[in-house]
């Protein structure tokens, strides 16, 4: 066999090898796509709050910076004593924000247009006994609080309720898939893809006070209530916290 003949034979061998590698891939690409159904399951769990976070502001001002600071410190000290009087642990009371602003009349920065120094501090109180909320807030206002920047009712077991909401959402997704497939005389097989779209919480009280969290706009598949706060007195009605979850799941069709 001469050199030219050997070259031709080798080229044919290479072409056959390449064809044998890619032929199964091409055949697989011609197969019909897997049959599947994709659904979204949603769940909402309503739970009673067991703690409240108060964000309170103190603002004082004077042309003398030392006077403005002293007045601010006096109010903050009184608020700390109010919290102590309501059995709030020291680690649950903190100063979260401090600022000093020299202020002038709009557009003017001449000494004669100086209004004064504005001193601001923010105090964050975490109250574990929400039955004391109204009285503590009233006492803090009497102590000199100038701004109520936020009131946030929460649950200390948020992780547990999130897990429960997620499990309910997955269950709702499976039930929806079975119902939809059943209408077409199909059976649902194993899940092939699971995605968590949303998992969070929202308290309706936040829409009135400061930092809101935004509720889900879509209707829920599952709503579960866990009772109401116990031992509430006075006119406070914080309602319940909504813990939401949404998942999207794809199932095979048998």
Phi, psi of 64 (to 5 degrees): -95, 115
Neighbours of 76 (CB within 10 A): 21
| Residues 130 and 187 grouped into a single domain | no
Q: What confidence category does residue 168 fall into, taking pLDDT thresholds of 50, 70 and 90?
A: very high
Structure tokens at 219: 């209707």
Answer with the residue of higher pLDDT: 243 or 2.
243
Which of 136, 154, 172 is at the close of a domain? 154
Is pTM beyond 0.75? Reply is no
DSSP string, 95-164: EEEEEEEEEESTT--SGGGEEEEEEEEEEEEEES-GGGHHHHHHHHHHHT--EEEEEEEE-TTHHHHHHH
The maximal CA–CA distance of the chain, rounded, in angstroms, is 109
Q: Report, as an integer, the average pLDDT of 55-74.
A: 96
pLDDT in tens, 117-157: 999 999 999 999 989 999 999 999 999 999 999 888 888 89
Name the residue with higher pLDDT: 96 or 251. 251
Q: Single out the residue in 154, 172, 194 at which a domain terminates.
A: 154
Last residue of some domain: 154, 188, 212? 154
């Amino acid at each position: 066999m001469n050199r030219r003949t050997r070259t031709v034979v080798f080229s044919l061998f290479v072409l056959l090898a390449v064809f044998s590698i890619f032929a199964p891939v091409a055949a697989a690409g011609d197969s019909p796509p897997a049959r599947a159904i994709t659904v979204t399951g949603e769940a909402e769990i309503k739970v009673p709050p067991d703690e409240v976070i108060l964000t309170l502001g103190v603002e004082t001002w004077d042309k003398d910076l030392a006077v403005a600071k002293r007045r601010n410190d006096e109010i903050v000290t009184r608020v700390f004593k109010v919290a102590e009087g309501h059995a709030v642990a020291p680690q649950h009371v903190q100063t979260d924000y401090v600022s000093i602003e020299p202020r002038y009349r709009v557009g003017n920065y001449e000494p004669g247009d100086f209004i004064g120094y504005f001193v601001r501090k923010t105090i964050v109180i975490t109250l574990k006994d929400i039955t004391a909320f109204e009285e503590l807030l009233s006492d803090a206002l009497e102590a000199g609080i100038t701004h109520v920047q936020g009131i946030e009712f929460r649950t200390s077991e948020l992780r547990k309720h999130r897990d429960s909401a997620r499990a309910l959402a997955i269950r709702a997704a499976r039930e929806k898939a079975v119902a939809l497939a059943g209408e077409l005389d199909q059976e649902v097989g194993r899940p092939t893809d699971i995605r968590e779209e949303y998992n969070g919480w929202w308290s309706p009280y936040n829409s009135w006070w400061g930092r809101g969290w935004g509720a889900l706009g879509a209707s829920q598949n599952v709503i579960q209530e866990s009772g109401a706060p116990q031992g509430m007195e006075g006119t406070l009605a914080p309602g319940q916290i909504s813990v939401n979850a949404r998942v999207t799941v794809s199932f095979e069709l048998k």
